[in-house]
Amino acid sequence: MSYCINPNCPQPQNTRQPLFCLSCGSELLLEGCYRVIRPMGSGGFGKTYEVDDSGTTKVLKVLFNLHPKAVELFQQEAAVLKRLNHPGIPKVQSDGYFIYSLRNSQVPLHCLVMEKIEGMNLEEYLTHRDNEPIGERAAVRWLKQLAEILHQVHQQQYFHRDIKPPNIMLRPDGQLALIDFGTAREVTQTFMQKVAGQQVTGIISTGYTPPEQMNGKAVPQSDFFALGRTFVYLLTGKTPDFFNEDSRTGQLIWRDSATIISKGLLDFIDYLMAPFPGNRPKETQEILDCIAVIDASASNSKQSSQTPKTYKNSSNNQQISQIQYAGFGRRLIAHCIDIVILTIVVALIWKIILSIFNVLPSNTINEYGVFGFSLVCASFITIGGIYGEFLIIVGNLSSGFQSEENRFILTIATFALISKWLYYSWFESSEKQATPGKMALGIAVTNSFEHRLTFHQANVRFWSKSISALILLIGFIMPLFTKNKQGLHDKIAKTLVIKK
């Protein structure tokens, strides 16, 4: 079979192997050696075909869009692939680019013949897995392969600008290949001047393109952002635009969907896709060094029965650190500090309220003083914890709220309970992952995978802690006896209290 690439051919399929199309008369043996076997796909600029080159199957890309910019990008891809030599990049011979003239037409077709990468792209791969995420072992292996490919590309003073799952091929032997270099860009002094003047053509792939590239200022570190976003997709089974971004930092909120992945790898993915290019790895060698650290950490954790180790990154160095859980004494002191802070805060707030609104009988205020009365109430409620609030609420319910003082104390109890709920839930789900008391003692609260708690998870922890405190203080005593020093509330909420 021979296939005619003339876009206007009424019958492009030729059942035999003639030299010229039986329908339109266009030449079928391109450049005297390439015979088109079948179409493979089409895109915005043209089509791809499978061709036979003296017994070797290759891929032919044909450009039908003759806009000058389209032609420039197409020729650029040919030039880039000719210069690059890596098993993870499609090979193009020196004569792989040529112009094909159609019969009875003045419109030329730009053609590029390259190595055919067997397999499927990563988007197809995950679709065939019903979007089931890949595991950490595969992720680290693929990260290393792609970093090595990018190292070769960047060493040749190019960067890709369109890394995403459809542009990464998985061969049957498990090796990855990066394709579609039509958007690649050479890093030259002229290019850097254009970046400064915002005159660089934008390439946009929703969810994968970094902010600076959307603004026409793509840089080599833009590839790292897209690489990180690609692994968000692979590790969660969801495209990056499925997740929200932190309105304060611009970071993608995705980690809770990758529940079986180590904190070290998650930190590294976030490092790759930092919103600002200067906060990402400076070069591909740094990425390879980071991956080596993560890989070594995984090997050590398998060979040792000790607590697993995690990777921590910064812009300047990487290190392996062992997880240490906060003990009962440290947690108790932190709790006492939080109680003192809460007592003072609640008392001050009620002093302000009582100073503005005359809501108590004057003899009560005269007896204690405004701040004194507030401090007594706040101390009883915060130090008594859930016991104090429980007894006040039950007592008032049973008495039918008969006195003004009782009704007011109930109001304070309710206010204190809400204050504690917001205090613990907000601080423990914040970026600090700790209340001020815990910060002072150098400890933090995480979920069972050492990720930052969501507000919902912090809520579950607070209320389970409050309820377990009613059962013989089990919530506070259990850390003395459990392996990971977890209280009952930690078990229920699936949280850990660790040393920073």
Distance of CA 130 to the CA centre of its chain: 20
Q: How far apart are CA 288 and CA 155, in angstroms?
A: 14
Supply the residues annotated as catalytic. Answer: 162
> What is the DSSP code string of 172-193?
TTS-EEE---TT-EE--HHHHH
Other Cβ atoms within 10 Å of 381 Cβ, number? 26
Residues belonging to the chain: 500
Contact criterion met (CB below 8 Å) for 395 and 419: no
Question: Please, what is the Cα angle at 449 between 479 and 469, to 5 degrees?
Answer: 30
Question: Please, what is the Cα angle at 28 between 26 and 29, to 5 degrees?
Answer: 135
- Which residue reads 């019958």 in tokens? 11
Taken in order 189, 194, 196, 197, the sign of the CA dihedral is positive
- Which residue reads 């709790």 in tokens? 335
For residue 313, give the 3-state DSSP assignment: strand
Structure tokens at 253: 């909120």
| Residue 383 burial (10 A CB sphere; 0-12, 13-18, 19+) | middle
Report CA Rg, the chain.
32
* 404-428 vs 455-469: helix crossing angle, rounded to 10: 130
Nearest to 210 by CA among 189, 227, 188, 225: 225
Contact criterion met (CB below 8 Å) for 80 and 184: yes
CB half-sphere exposure, 473, CA atoms < 13 A = 7
- List C-alpha distances in Å: 66 to 27, 200, 468, 496: 20, 20, 72, 60
Distance of CA 30 to the CA centre of its chain: 45
Contact criterion met (CB below 8 Å) for 119 and 208: no
Which parts of 314-392 are beta strand (E)?
318-322
- Which residue reads 């070069």 in tokens? 283
Contact criterion met (CB below 8 Å) for 311 and 318: yes
DSSP designation for 166: G
Structure tokens at 276: 């600002």
Q: How far apart are CA 142 and CA 265, in angstroms?
A: 13
